[in-house]
Chains A and B, each alone.
Chain A
């Protein structure tokens, strides 16, 4: 418990590592995660450190591993179960791993390149086949003598022949040329227009779309292509057409001159395509096999390389001693773990077979150590939300063990609904039961991870919400009537016929028998049916908020005594804690007392004289005790007394500590000299003179050494101390008022939640329940669905997050600024399990 309350005691230690066994020792320490290494070469550039070559080698291996993982992921091969945890490899084994990786990289590269070439080939052949098929259609189409565009009349041979061949063209003397190929579908219109503009009608473009999608080799996406056939007249036109085709990235294929040629080519293509398919399949199979074999050990390699790189990075932080045979490392280590540290060093030395063992040596330091607080899976969530505000200063009181209960409690005060609490608790309970399920733990969804990490917090919040929901008597905006209401209608209206008119009537507690006693568990269920429900609830909840707030803040002030006592600043107890507590309790503690007094001693019988507490409180400050009727005899005198105490505690708080410290440092200076004189008086007068001279010479340092421990190295700056204390005083006193008012958010959020819940019921569920035909039964199902969805999204998620935030703020600001400074550094041990892996961040693992 000491650890959770205060944090571990830490010490600075020096490790003397033998050169040969340094690697193994650090490997052992990394497995255990005990210590935090300090950088002993802060001025050295990253490129000038000793082990930079080894780190470069590790990065090279990581690059190859990244390439491997990407290929494995592309091929959709799943990695085997990741339970292995291999140790970091020794430097001599590193070469084998490196060679294996390089070999794999080369092989994979070759096979991939081959595959790409084959695929490109296949694509070309496929396109050629399509082109031939479709242009045959062009030719056959024109042979059916459809009346086409005007341009075709220029080529009279079309009417004669079904086949365009060079012989007939030459007979005509027309230098007719053909260009055929494929182009992307999106470009075909622009292509056509460009052709028309440039060639001005000396070309004919026929095109048709291919039905199937072909894979574009550059981007890998399926695209629609269009087969086109350009027949042109003249050489120069031919050049222009070719240039335009280049411009539009068309794939051109030779156009066959006769039908037989065309058929031959088609046949040839078909066989070639079949062959290519087989070869491609074989290549893909081989690639897959290589990747599967690699995937078996890739995870091990990743872990090993990561550990190796980490070890070299740590070795870079160490410095060599004078003889250059020994590495010195400075670490922060918890004092309780020093034996384990020694054992780890021995283990490392043994593993590397070193003759001289490495050892550890504690050294004193004035630096503030980092803060380590040991947590388990339950407390870590609460510690995280405390650390989010600020990590605790070394060895100061940790608010986390109290936050475990007060945070869910304050959340529940704002959330209080039995039904919603049950849903939240069940959800959290499910997460806790399945917390070891790997799939739940390792998802990449950030929002889910946040909820999962806080599963114990949500469970506590849900359980407390169930309790506060029971007390508020609010379950999905309806009240439970377990014990029977304390209010009786029968006693008020003896004759029921008196109330035939549609009126709203108020039950009067003065009438005997109407009010039979308070409901034993929470708020009476009759209030749920009343129209003036909020009048009563608002008064109740506001007073409750103030009471809870003052108690929470007083608890915070009391916790500061732990710090004062631990850091041996007992004067703080009288000069800081006591004035603070008196100020808080005399003013706001008295307010709480008045609230309880009014609840207990004023009832409906004297409700006309029931005082307003707020007015009394204000009058207390203004010292106008006689303006209103007193609550109890002697009230004026008591209030004056309390105000006087509170007012006097402010200057004590403001000036007490600086003046005391000033007196401690400078005032006692004379005392010490005097005592030194007294001490040696017995010996001789000469020695007295010597003593005095000695004192004069040493001056301040002498008296500083003999005063309290912490101050002997610091100069005491009165102005600085006074300013600090002044700020603290102002903050505390003004904060008391504003923080007490801030706790009213407990009332505000609880009201909002109750009202939202009621609106949802009245507007959604009641509509569904009111229909009493059979249709209503079917109508109820979607209505309930809507009700459920809105409940979860608005009331649970949105209100839950809102109440969470406000409860957190109440803790961070109102509670913790009474005692917590939170200026520490978190202890981050060197541990392999805590190192992030860049592959995991890329989603490759």
Chain B
């Protein structure tokens, strides 16, 4: 697996959506809407985390690279780190 940036990104996102879906529901005050709000939070966390996970896993081990025209290559050579 690739380097530090991947590990950091993975842990940050997992932690964030884990808190949203697993920790925040305990703090919702009791009321008639508690069930709906908890369902919403858990579903949001699951959907958003999954979506992000698919995006990063699809790029983890690319089988092919981007094909750039030479103008773009020239520009990126000088302006991107």
Known: A484-B81, A496-B77, A536-B64. A502 touches B70 (CB 8 A): yes
Select which of A471, A501, A604 is within 8 A of B61 by beta carbon. A604
A487:B34 contact, CB within 8 angstroms = no
Known: A4-B36, A610-B63. A504 touches B43 (CB 8 A): no
Residues in B with CB closer than 8 Å to A516 are: 2-3, 5
Cβ of A617 within 8 Å of any chain B Cβ, yes or no, is no
A602:B63 contact, CB within 8 angstroms = yes
Select which of A404, A530, A547 is within 8 A of B40 by beta carbon. A404
B51:A506 contact, CB within 8 angstroms = no
Q: Which residues of B (35-55) have their CB < 8 Å from a CB of A?
A: 35-36, 38-40, 43-44, 47-48, 50-52, 54-55
A518:B47 contact, CB within 8 angstroms = no
Q: Which residues of B (46-81) have their CB < 8 Å from a CB of A?
A: 47-48, 50-52, 54-70, 72-74, 76-77, 80-81
Residues in B with CB closer than 8 Å to A239 are: none
Q: Which residues of A (1-21) have their CB < 8 Å from a CB of B?
A: 1-2, 4-5
CB-nearest residue of chain A to B51? A471
Cβ of A255 within 8 Å of any chain B Cβ, yes or no, is no
B48:A467 contact, CB within 8 angstroms = yes
CB-nearest residue of chain A to B52? A471
A1:B36 contact, CB within 8 angstroms = yes
A499:B64 contact, CB within 8 angstroms = no
Residues in A with CB closer than 8 Å to B52 are: 471, 521-522
Residues in A with CB closer than 8 Å to B66 are: 487, 506-507, 526-527, 529-530, 532-533, 536
Selected interface stretch from A201-209, A405-413, A418-426, A718-726: A405-413
Residues in A with CB closer than 8 Å to B39 are: 1, 401-402, 404-405
B47:A519 contact, CB within 8 angstroms = no
Residues in B with CB closer than 8 Å to A544 are: 51, 54-55, 58
Residues in B with CB closer than 8 Å to A503 are: 69-70
CA gap between A405 and B41 in the complex, in Å: 9
Known: A1-B34, A520-B8. A493 touches B63 (CB 8 A): no
B9:A521 contact, CB within 8 angstroms = yes
Cβ of A84 within 8 Å of any chain B Cβ, yes or no, is no
Interface size class of A (residues with CB under 8 A): 35 or more
CA gap between A319 and B60 in the complex, in Å: 74
Residues in B with CB closer than 8 Å to A490 are: 77
CB-nearest residue of chain B to A405? B43
CA gap between A599 and B55 in the complex, in Å: 11
Known: A404-B40, A520-B5, A523-B55. A531 touches B62 (CB 8 A): no
CA gap between A214 and B79 in the complex, in Å: 78
CA gap between A2 and B68 in the complex, in Å: 56
How far apart are A412's CB and chain B's nearest CB, in angstroms?
9
CA gap between A548 and B46 in the complex, in Å: 11
A489:B65 contact, CB within 8 angstroms = no
Cβ of A763 within 8 Å of any chain B Cβ, yes or no, is no
Q: What sequence of 0s and 1s flags, for each residue 140-154 of chain A, a beta carbon within 8 Å of any chain B beta carbon?
A: 000000000000000
CA gap between A488 and B68 in the complex, in Å: 12
A599:B3 contact, CB within 8 angstroms = no
B67:A600 contact, CB within 8 angstroms = no
Residues in B with CB closer than 8 Å to A520 are: 5-6, 8-9, 56
Select which of A467, A523, A601 is within 8 A of B59 by beta carbon. A523
CB-nearest residue of chain A to B43? A405
Residues in A with CB closer than 8 Å to B8 are: 520
How far apart are A409's CB and chain B's nearest CB, in angstroms?
5
CB-nearest residue of chain B to A539? B58
B70:A505 contact, CB within 8 angstroms = yes
Q: What sequence of 0s and 1s flags, for each residue 487-515 of chain A, a beta carbon within 8 Å of any chain B beta carbon?
A: 11110010010011111111111000011
Select which of B59, B62, B70 is within 8 A of A504 by beta carbon. B70
CA gap between A518 and B51 in the complex, in Å: 15
Cβ of A581 within 8 Å of any chain B Cβ, yes or no, is no
A487:B69 contact, CB within 8 angstroms = no
Cβ of A376 within 8 Å of any chain B Cβ, yes or no, is yes
Q: Which residues of B (1-49) have their CB < 8 Å from a CB of A?
A: 2-6, 8-9, 32-36, 38-40, 43-44, 47-48
Cβ of A629 within 8 Å of any chain B Cβ, yes or no, is no
CB-nearest residue of chain B to A526? B66
Residues in B with CB closer than 8 Å to A409 are: 44, 47-48, 51
Cβ of A379 within 8 Å of any chain B Cβ, yes or no, is yes
A471:B70 contact, CB within 8 angstroms = no
How far apart are A111's CB and chain B's nearest CB, in angstroms?
56
Select which of B54, B60, B63, B69 is within 8 A of A543 by beta carbon. B54
How far apart are B1's CB and chain A's nearest CB, in angstroms?
8
CB-nearest residue of chain A to B41? A405
Q: What sequence of 0s and 1s flags, for each residue 458-484 of chain A, a beta carbon within 8 Å of any chain B beta carbon?
A: 000000000110011000000000011
Known: A493-B77, A506-B66, A610-B63. A518 touches B6 (CB 8 A): yes
Residues in B with CB closer than 8 Å to A507 are: 65-68
Residues in B with CB closer than 8 Å to A607 are: 63-64
B65:A602 contact, CB within 8 angstroms = no
Known: A490-B77, A499-B73. A604 touches B64 (CB 8 A): yes
Residues in B with CB closer than 8 Å to A610 are: 63
CA gap between A507 and B43 in the complex, in Å: 38
Most buried by B among A1, A502, A524: A1
Residues in B with CB closer than 8 Å to A508 are: 65
Select which of A4, A468, A543 is within 8 A of B51 by beta carbon. A468
CA gap between A639 and B52 in the complex, in Å: 29
How far apart are A543's CB and chain B's nearest CB, in angstroms?
7
Known: A603-B63, A607-B63. A405 touches B6 (CB 8 A): no
CA gap between A600 and B55 in the complex, in Å: 12
Residues in B with CB closer than 8 Å to A486 are: 5, 59
Most buried by A among B40, B50, B63, B74: B63
A540:B43 contact, CB within 8 angstroms = no
Contacts from A to B (Cβ < 8 Å): 1-2, 4-5, 376, 379, 401-402, 404-406, 409, 413, 467-468, 471-472, 483-490, 493, 496, 499-509, 514-524, 526-527, 529-533, 535-536, 539-540, 543-544, 547-548, 551, 596, 599-604, 607, 610
10 further A-B contacts with Cβ under 8 Å, apart from A484-B80, A504-B68, are A1-B34, A401-B36, A406-B47, A467-B48, A490-B77, A503-B69, A515-B65, A521-B52, A526-B76, A540-B55
